[in-house]
């Protein structure tokens, strides 16, 4: 009874929650992007100094709220030996932010290979992908057309999904808001991967109809009543 009521409470007051993976080679700027995003979207967040960020071992997690939507980020390590762990997170994710270091021409083809492997994974089918051409504050960096050309043979592998290439500087924050707002729009409209909160609802309804107990039925009615009065 308590579980059911607390589930109901959560449904009413929790935001729709989506998991977003931040992927890309090591040194691309993933952790800096996550810190910049948290600083911009969480009013009281006092982040670490961006220049003090060091190599990620394991993963960093961060959460932001954008209106009624909650994004939970998983910033995974990008070193070659850690890339094999990426696909363990695919099934749970609603979106991917793929970060490219626009100043590192030498490793661009390595980044393209990792990207290609990622987008061809079945577990990520239909998941929106935001490609961030990061470090655009550096004068000598590669431009968006340069990067698109280098990644051009991935285009036909993108399939039916939302995909955007966005110029960005995780350090200065340029392009960060635009990227996040685009991602929010895409995950919300992607009916194939409902938010986490919907699972609670589904559980609730399933349980209410599979258990023939009077109080479950009345809670279910209460739930629909609450839904009806929400709008
Ligand atoms: N100039 C510049 N440097 C950046 C930017 N983003 C990250 N960096 C630097 O790139 C290095 C690697 O950043 P980090 O966030 O640790 O990369 P990660 O390994 O992908 O998590 C650090 O020295 C950052 O300060 C950016 O937008 N512009
Ligand atoms: Mg990192």
Q: What is the pLDDT of residues 174-209, one digit of tens each?
A: 999 999 999 999 999 999 999 986 554 455 445 545
Give residue 29 CA to ligand 2 midpoint distance, Å: 7
Q: Does ligand 1 lie within 6 Å of residue 37's CB atom?
A: no
Domain that holds residue 21: 15-197
The reply to whether 3 falls in a domain is no
Q: In terms of domains, do 190 and 211 share one?
A: no
Q: Which ligand is nearest to the CA of 101?
A: 1
Asked whether 166 and 175 are in contact (CB, 8 A), the reply is yes
Closest C-alpha among 117, 84, 70, 122 to residue 98? 117
Q: What percent of the chain has pLDDT over 90?
A: 62
166 is catalytic: no
pLDDT at 48: 74
Q: Are residues 141 and 58 in the same domain?
A: yes
Give the Å distance between the CA of 201 and the centre of ligand 1: 40
Q: Which of 58, 61, 63, 55 is nearest to 26 (CA)?
A: 55
In sign, the C-alpha dihedral spanning 183, 76, 106, 154 is negative
> pLDDT at residue 223 above 70?
no
The reply, when asked if residue 83 is annotated as ligand binding, is no
pTM: 0.82
């Amino acid at each position: 009874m308590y579980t059911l009521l607390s589930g109901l409470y959560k449904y009413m007051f929790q935001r729709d929650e989506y998991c977003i993976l931040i992927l890309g080679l090591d040194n691309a700027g993933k952790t800096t992007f996550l810190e910049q995003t948290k600083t911009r979207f969480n009013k009281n967040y006092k982040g670490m100094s961006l220049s003090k960020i060091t190599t990620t071992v394991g993963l960093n997690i961060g959460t932001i709220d954008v209106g009624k939507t909650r994004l939970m980020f998983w910033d995974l390590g990008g070193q070659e030996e850690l890339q094999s762990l990426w696909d363990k997170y695919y099934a749970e994710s609603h979106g991917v932010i793929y970060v490219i270091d626009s100043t590192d021409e030498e490793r661009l083809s390595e980044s393209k290979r990792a990207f290609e492997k990622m987008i061809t994974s079945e577990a990520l089918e239909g998941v929106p992908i935001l490609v961030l051409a990061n470090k655009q504050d550096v004068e000598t960096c590669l431009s968006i057309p340069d990067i698109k050309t280098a990644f051009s043979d991935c285009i036909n592998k993108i399939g039916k999904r939302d995909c955007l290439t966005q110029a960005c500087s995780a350090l200065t924050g340029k392009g960060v808001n635009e990227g996040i707002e685009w991602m929010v729009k895409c995950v919300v409209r992607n009916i194939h991967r409902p938010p986490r909160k919907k699972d609670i609802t589904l559980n609730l309804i399933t349980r209410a109809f599979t258990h023939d107990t009077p109080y479950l039925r009345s809670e279910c009615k209460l739930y629909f009543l609450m839904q009806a009065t929400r709008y």
